[in-house]
Copies of this chain bind each other. A is one copy, B any other.
Amino acid sequence: MDVGSRLKEARKKRGFSQRKLAQEADVSNGTISLIEQNKISPSVALLKRLLEGLSMSLGEFFNEDKYPKEKQFFHADELTEHTFGSIRFLQVGGDLHDRRLQILREHYPPHSDTGELMLVHNGEEGGIVLRGEIEVTVGDEIQLLRAGDAYYFESNKPHRFRNPGDDDCEIFSVCTPPNF
């Protein structure tokens, strides 16, 4: 995890010295030095104070991924395909284990249906209908969306996608974090 390096980087980005941050967060400067060298592991409470001094949330702090990522561009035939019954998902990128977005082009044949999907991650998801019609159920809300319409909700609500029409439906969707 390397909390030390991350803290140091965040501090440097703000242009703070250890002492400046120590003052802001009401912490001793020695403590900051030890943390940055990973000689001690700060309590969550202390780290929170430090990050407040840097105007950063714990969530942001721990989500800052810095490993350089591989492929950046994907040709249409390089998208990773997933199928669930007759429904096809074309995913941007392969292994999304250490990534935050799952970007999909979804293809729903006429009368296809995901059924109720269980709550997976505690994330968010949204999308825009490219063509055709799709009936989206989220919690106790049901909506029929057409080309150009969009949705955006929290993934922990039970949800369902159903193509009620006689034409194909295509959706551009995204969720964070990735589901599969």
Contact (Cβ within 8 A) B1 A146: no
Interface size on A, as a range, is 35 or more
In the complex, the chain B residue whose C-beta lies closest to that of A13 is B122
B130 close to A74 (CB less than 8 A): no
Give the oligomeric copy count.
Answer: 2
State how many angstroms separate the Cβ of A127 from the closest Cβ of chain B.
7
Q: Known contacts being A43-B44, A57-B62, A174-B174, is A79 close to B150, with CB within 8 Å? A: yes
Q: Is the CB of B73 within 8 A of A62?
A: no
**Cα-based distance from A176 to B172 in the complex (angstroms):** 16
> Once the chains bind, are B43 and A1 in contact (CB under 8 Å)?
no
Taking the closest CB of chain B, its distance from the CB of A51, in whole angstroms, is 10
Interface of A is mostly: mixed
List of B residues within 8 angstroms of A93 by Cβ: 126, 152
Which of A18-26, A99-107, A110-118 faces chain B? Answer: A99-107
Tell me if B42 and A126 are in contact (CB < 8 A): no
- Decide yes or no: A152 and B101 within 8 Å by CB, A72-B141, A138-B72, A145-B73 being known contacts: yes
Contact: B143 with A128, CB < 8 Å? no
